[in-house]
């Protein structure tokens, strides 16, 4: 399998193997599953274009593993733990074309992006591509535990009856909650709401960035937004310490945010899509006050 540097895919042995972050997820674990390769994910802020990332993948196929030996490529359309990097449309389209050419299964991990967080049901819809398999979880059942794999029939029907399952698989209460979540999405127009809240938050974060050079980047898609904190220098040196102090200060003010990014210097916002405009504005005020305190 091929996965991406900076990707996060969970904590089972294969999940940690697929994950492209040595800290904290792979630290003190191992040995990992064999024959999993990692390739660069596009990162406009750090100079990795779609073209460069596609070329690196082609080089991997030429030097490390021949395409006919690759079962699947797994990717997050917006890297979550890896720092809220959005894969550009042309990158996802290039990846789809390459996987189709070689008969490689394309898996979209939508566990963090899925269910409306990027303004569409799924992140891959921004690129107009069709994956072969999609993973879903988190907001799927509005907080009740439920995860799933959705995919093309020939793959999904391949295991024999009983070949896939688990003690908690198909939990009836969680399934009912997921159906109610889908109704709520439609009735409360949560996709459009997430887009609008995201735009409001993005504008507020851009205003903060214009006043503080330590906010190197404001990025994300829809209501899945983050800021990257850097030292005040040309190299855009990641500042994980500033990030942690800001998160702690924000918490004291009543705002819960968490870190991400391979250098742990990215602060991410994952507010519910049912948040109000007033709450987004309040979050921005708390963040601004916290920033003023940590920078003084």
* Residue 86 binds ligand PLP (CB under 6 A): no
Question: Catalytic: 8?
Answer: yes
Q: Quick one: which segment of 74-82, 94-102, 184-192, 274-282 binds ligand PLP (CB under 6 A)?
A: 74-82
Residue, CB closest to ligand PLP: 10
Q: Quick one: which segment of 99-107, 109-117, 242-250, 260-268 binds ligand PLP (CB under 6 A)?
A: 109-117
Residue of 115, 120, 124, 138 with catalytic role: 138
- How far is Cα 1 from Cα 10, in angstroms, rounded to an integer? 15
Ramachandran bin of 82, using left for φ above 0, alpha for ψ from -120 to 50, beta for the remaining angles:
alpha
> Among 87, 109, 222, 227, which residue sits at the site for ligand PLP (rule: CB under 6 A)?
109
Residues numbered 120 to 149 that lie near ligand PLP (CB under 6 A) are 137, 147
Residue of 81, 109, 132, 239 with catalytic role: 109
The residue among 191, 190, 243 whose CA lies nearest residue 214 is 243
Nearer to ligand PLP, 5 or 9 (CB): 9
Rounded to 5°, angle at Cα 63 from 72 and 55: 70
CA dihedral 136, 94, 268, 44 (to 10 degrees): 170
Q: How far is the CB of 15 from ligand PLP (least distance, A)?
A: 6
Nearer to ligand PLP, 107 or 287 (CB): 107
* Residue 3 binds ligand PLP (CB under 6 A): no
Question: Catalytic: 91?
Answer: no
Cα dist from 112 to 10, 102, 124, whole Å: 11, 28, 12
* Residue 88 binds ligand PLP (CB under 6 A): no
The b-or-e profile of 135-159 (16+ CB within 10 A means b, else e) is bbbbbbbbeeebebeebeeeeeeee
Question: Catalytic: 138?
Answer: yes
Sketch the per residue contact string, 173 through 202, with ligand PLP: x for CB under 6 A, - otherwise.
------------------------------
Sheet containing strand 37-39, edge to edge, reads 37-39, 2-4, 72-75, 105-109, 133-136, 148-151
- Given the rule CB under 6 A, which residues bind ligand PLP? 8-11, 76, 80-81, 109, 111-112, 137, 147
Positions marked catalytic: 8, 109, 138
């Amino acid at each position: 399998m091929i996965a991406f540097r900076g990707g996060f895919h969970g904590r089972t042995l294969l999940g940690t193997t697929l994950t492209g972050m040595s800290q904290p997820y792979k630290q003190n674990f191992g040995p990992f599953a064999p024959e999993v390769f990692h390739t660069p994910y596009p990162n406009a802020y750090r100079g990795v274009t779609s073209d460069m990332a596609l070329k690196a993948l082609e080089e991997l196929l030429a030097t490390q593993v021949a395409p006919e030996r690759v079962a699947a490529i797994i990717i997050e359309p917006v890297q979550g733990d890896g720092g809220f990097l959005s894969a550009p449309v042309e990158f996802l389209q290039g990846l789809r074309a390459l996987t189709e050419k070689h008969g490689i299964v394309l898996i979209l991990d939508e566990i963090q992006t899925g269910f409306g967080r990027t303004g569409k049901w799924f992140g891959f819809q921004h690129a107009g591509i069709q994956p072969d398999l999609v993973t879903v979880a988190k907001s799927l059942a509005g907080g009740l535990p439920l995860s799933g794999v959705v995919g093309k029939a020939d793959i999904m029907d391949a295991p024999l009856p009983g070949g896939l399952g688990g003690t908690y698989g198909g939990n009836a209460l969680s399934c009912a909650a997921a159906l109610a979540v889908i109704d709520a999405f439609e009735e409360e127009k949560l996709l459009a709401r997430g887009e609008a809240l995201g735009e409001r938050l993005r504008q507020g974060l851009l205003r903060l960035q214009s006043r503080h050079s330590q906010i190197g980047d404001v990025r994300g898609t829809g209501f899945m937004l983050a800021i990257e904190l850097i030292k005040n220098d040309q190299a855009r040196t990641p500042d994980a310490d500033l990030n942690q102090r800001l998160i702690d200060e924000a918490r004291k003010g009543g705002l819960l945010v968490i870190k991400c990014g391979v250098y742990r210097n990215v602060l991410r916002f994952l507010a519910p899509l049912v948040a109000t405009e007033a709450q987004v504005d309040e979050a921005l005020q708390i963040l601004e006050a916290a920033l003023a305190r940590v920078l003084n």
